[in-house]
Structure 1
């Protein structure tokens, strides 16, 4: 055998194990190059501001210090660690910092997904799963705390699913992941629920002789995971805060990312769902009962709340990998073998990504999406030196970042269901009386609303409110006694 053949034999498996690295590198490059897209959500602004506050005060918030409507009311940030990380990277590199941090977390998420799926399925099947997952998660991939928790979600779920596949209990080494998750984002509660679902899967499919012992081991792990989730500055109160978000009731459907899935037009979710159903019918795929239950539960969550599509996209392939491998064929679960070739390849990819990041951030200036933010309007508003301003919901994050106390902002759990619903009904004029009730109840001095909103058009036609500034994005109305409406109400003459 020649030396060349020997090297080729060692290089081939090394190249195959590099698939997750290529996936991670490609995803990272994509999101760094399109980095401004990660900054389109106005909530990113207040997330960084809260992180700066935590770093400056060396403490986590326990009451609201930003709004004037809820100032002093109990409020905790279950995503404090992610906020500090975003604020720290922003302090070092400006907006390039949060972009690189978020892009790195997204890349790690898909690298881990590819790694775990490729241990069961072929490379082509793995790439299909990764592509589908990317298509479903893209709408919610933003420089916000949940993105930093996505790699933890994948690693946690993969560890639990691997244990269920072996009909064994999860490794205790997974518990630090739960602690990290609980400090990054409130979604850790789903991770706790996942323990129960996969425990049933493992016990259901185990031999009758070991079911009781296996159940006790999973139960013990579940209790340990619950305890690990309380290792935060807030202790067990973080669990209550997450529950408070889920109990917002009528407020949730009014928030875009919490709305049920819309099938009014063909989208990525519908395409992936139909293709998955078609492939399952064509190949006659059969799944274990509990995997069917878990998968249907994830689909239901995605249909009920659009933001849950990312959970289905990332966990679905992990649930399906082992059953599919047994039916359509795949890779054997083997430990990755270390080799100089593989190590050198990973180091080379990392070096290229670091160099590319430095070069790109040197010539490209990242900045939040301000075309829908009231930048000039807030500058004018500050000149008025007012403290009680009724603002559009989407303007709240920019107001916090600008040092102006908002009426409402993206911390919906702080304001509660009734307050949020009342504000939405007022600004949208679903209940016009609500607008004037809130303006009087909170002694509002001015309004900062979208120029095209129904409430803005109404105030144009009401005496006592003077329009002092307006552009294509926002309009300021100042409460002023004796002010005459700027637009006459339209009156149709009777014939």
Structure 2
């Protein structure tokens, strides 16, 4: 009875944790252009064939193979607002993990399964973005479940669900091409190798090969059933294998998900090793000799180590391999008859309860500070560092025109302000020439900005000044006398072409006020950081974490970097007085030392 109570309580806590863990603010990325595209599709009852939000008057060809995902997101937002989108994402993640639970619940001890799902959550959490790829979590599992069943029982009828799934998946995300074809092909290759290497049951193996060949062909054919026909079906293949097609790899160095996952070497990457070690362990057991499992695991592992964006694929494959391996070892049956299983189960449930409680408390306590007001992240609808305030500022002051922008801001600008504001680039990369110009400007602004400025006639620059890849351009632009800084909030900065707009006095004299700002260093007291117990501080920060983001502090850092050092120090110091922190104090001490050195 006590075990059942503890099990049920632990399970309920796990569901609560998963929900609040994946119920996140909307990030400043592709979701916004997906909303814009979804709105256009719903309003026009058609999919776009040309760029529907062009920077210039020309409309370049554009194919949106993820059109169904965009429509789902827009309809959700139209019915339930941004909170509806947050709820949709949380539900998709819960559904994915619930699907895994239903598959694995009879194949391994329940206590172990709870712990495995808890670990999986942190791996999937690295991909907690609201983009159509989140539906991959469902389809990848559907494919694995059916393919594993076919490998075990050889029934070809269940395989017919896979081409039907591709019909939907192919209009949601390119994962249908990457995983929807590669997974059946990988199982097919495994059976072919088995046919030639082993002489046992060759007739059965040959039958499986024929079944898998059929499903591979039908799945490939299903990709052609989309609004774009052959063009849409071949689009993902060209994007992946033809380097110059949409310059898929062009922004790889700037995009975290396209780079190797170096974060696995930190504490945040513990989930990776907690999945890697047991997966390798079950693969190495004598009773679990499965070429398919080895090929699956190596494919998923290589994909993830090559690019962080494959984290979800690795998490799902590793978890399924662990479950399949434990089933072959008959662990669930052995566990049930082991005399000490109840004691160990209670211990695992107890540890799980403890871990879940402290993580729930930590997650609920996470906060940001906006305009000197603390807001818990769980109540935040949009990421704290998005350009919403800048867009409102531009619209309120009647500043319109062509915007040279950080590419991650393009979608948000388009969703909230197009066509009053026309972003140069966004996550769609609809115009490859413009995208290449953007990269050239960031790499060498002195060489490429003057020509681009003359060609594209930019009126506004809206950038994330705290992004490392933007430093060179920001340092260059602040020296240009023909561009005027008019807005800074957090990392978001706005420049306008000097003399282009009639500005109200407060905006027109923004730079002047920054230049004449004064700071009295004697009023800034920097405590002795060496006396603070770092372990006690870390424990306190876990249960009552300091704000992850303070907009005033980010503003101060930007102003200081732009050369308005007195204004930057004063703004930064004011934020510390209300929201202290060890790292912030250290940064301020460096600012003060540098400022005193100049004087």
TM norm structure 2: 0.65
Alignment of 1:369-448 (within 5 A): 369-382=382-395, 383-402=397-416, 403=418, 404-412=421-429, 414-416=430-432, 419-420=434-435, 422-427=437-442, 429-430=443-444, 432-448=446-462
Counterpart mapping for 1:159-178 below 5 A:
159-169=146-156, 170-178=158-166
C-alpha separation in 2, matches of 1:265 and 1:299: 15
In structure 2, the residue matched to 1:296 is 298
- 1:236 and 2:230 correspond: yes
CA displacement at 1:384 relative to structure 2:
4.5
Comparing 112-121 with 55-64, greater Cα deviation is found at 112-121
Post-superposition Cα deviations, 1:279-308, rounded to whole Å, max 9, x if no partner, equal 745995244223212211110000011010
Give the distance between the partners of 1:221 and 1:396, measured in 2 at CA: 40
Match 1:140 to one of 122, 127, 134: 127
Number of the residue aligned with 1:222 = 216
Give the structure 2 partner of residue 460 of structure 1: 478
Which sections of structure 2, spanning at least 5 residues, go unmatched?
196-200, 335-376, 501-507, 516-561, 565-599
Residue in 2 aligned with 1:130?
Answer: 117
What displacement does 1:235 show? 2.4
Superposition deviation, residue 489 in structure 1: 9.3
Equivalent residues in 2 for 1:178-217, closer than 5 Å:
178-189=166-177, 190-205=179-194, 207-217=201-211
Residues 1:252 and 2:252 are matched in the alignment? yes
Q: CA offset at residue 367 of structure 1?
A: 5.1
Deviates more, 1:289-298 or 1:302-311: 289-298
Within 5 A, what are the aligned runs for 1:63-78? Answer: 63-68=50-55, 72-78=59-65
Tell me, yes or no, if the aligned pair for 2:14 and 2:118 is still in contact at 8 Å. no
User: Could you report, residue by residue, the CA deviation over 1:140-180 in whole angstroms, capped at 9, with x for unpaired residues?
Assistant: 12322222342222112211222123345452133321111
Structure 1 distance, partners of 2:209, 2:92, is 34
Secondary structure of the 1:398 match is: helix
In structure 2, the CA distance between the partners of 1:33 and 1:283, relative to structure 1 (3 Å rule), is closer
Query: How many angstroms apart in 1 are the aligned matches of 2:314 and 2:486?
Result: 48
What residue is the counterpart of 1:42 in the other structure?
A: 29
Matches within 5 A, 1:230-379: 230-246=224-240, 247=243, 248-263=248-263, 265-269=265-269, 271-273=271-273, 276-277=276-277, 280=280, 285-286=285-286, 287-327=289-329, 329-330=331-332, 368-379=381-392
RMSD: 3.7
Structure 1 residue runs of 5 or longer lacking an equivalent are: 1-7, 333-363, 491-495
How far is the alpha carbon of 1:136 from its aligned partner? 0.7
Kept in 2, the 8 Å contact 1:263–1:270? The answer is no
Q: How many residues align?
A: 442
**In 1, are the aligned partners of 2:39 and 2:71 still within 8 Å (CA)?**
yes
- Give me the TM-score of the superposition, normalised by structure 1: 0.78
CA distance in 1, matches of 2:60, 2:175: 23
SS in 1 for 2:423: coil
Which segment is superposed worse, 133-142 or 196-205? 196-205
Residue 184 of structure 2 contacts residue 216 of structure 2 at CA under 8 Å; is this kept in 1? yes
Residue pair 1:118, 1:331 contacting (<8 A) in 2 also: no
1:82 CA displacement: 1.9
Q: Is the 8 A contact 1:201 1:290 kept in 2?
A: yes
TM-superposed CA distance for 1:38, in Å, is: 4.5
Aligned residue for 1:39, secondary structure, equals coil
**Greater CA drift, 107-116 or 44-53:** 44-53
Structure 1 position 331, deviation (Å): 5.8
